[in-house]
Structure 1
């Protein structure tokens, strides 16, 4: 009986994983609601964030922090300085005025801090960079679209170009 019971447990766990993935993707949570009803939900920042966002008016104290200085040193070590701009050309052969820096912006603390520091380095003129944020919305939770919207609005406020790609054509299957 142990072998039969073991196979039953494995099959049950596989099916449960599929149902949970579907519930996260559609927002049904087994309650019979539809994805449309989930998309109509008006998400607030406090619904999707662990802590409410704050606006930093003065980044001067942050420039002394080790994370800020590490990012700045990372750019300098790669020659991303105003003095090196004239040495580089874009694919058209014309001189570039700013180095493009792309950040994978998940909406989590780490990527948001990195993006905030890069945005400050760009806006303050300390680094000749153009910051671009890319967000992947995997559509795997009811609030994923709200998280993408939060990232978009945050980037707009910080002068960061923002691109989002929603992936709803692929879901995790049985593994």
Structure 2
């Protein structure tokens, strides 16, 4: 499998009146992404692929601009479908997310099943890598499905214990080229 880096978008502008996939980066999220774009190791990636969600596309564009690349947007990379509940206040969201990971073969409150979301993200990443074999690729996506992807690649059962650190997103892991995936790291840890 081609070498790739999977990055989760950082902090967003939360607006309960706007559908979650349409949320954009907050000022802090954009600033963190611009700082990460200066990481020397990022230059090794010659392709940027983003989820269809606004926050991921905005982060990907910042990184692509720094690398002199275009952003390829691909279906299937979106976050787990939570449209059944829409926006949830943080404590309630965390409780439902815990259940999502704990019961991967069940739809929790109408959310996409974790097992289904995992199959989707694995398929989407595999297909995107097949489009440009051997080209190191930077994916910009989301924490939930990123954790499901990491679990698959590492051979872990689906469990929230493998989730990114609670720093507001902006975490990454590297995988491919015959190597096991790295652990999650924050943008601030660089490459």
TM range (shorter): under 0.3
Asked which structure has the greater CA Rg, the reply is 1
TM-score (norm 1): 0.28
More helix by share: 1
TM-score (norm 2): 0.26
**Larger RCO (CA within 8 A; separation ≥ 6):** 2
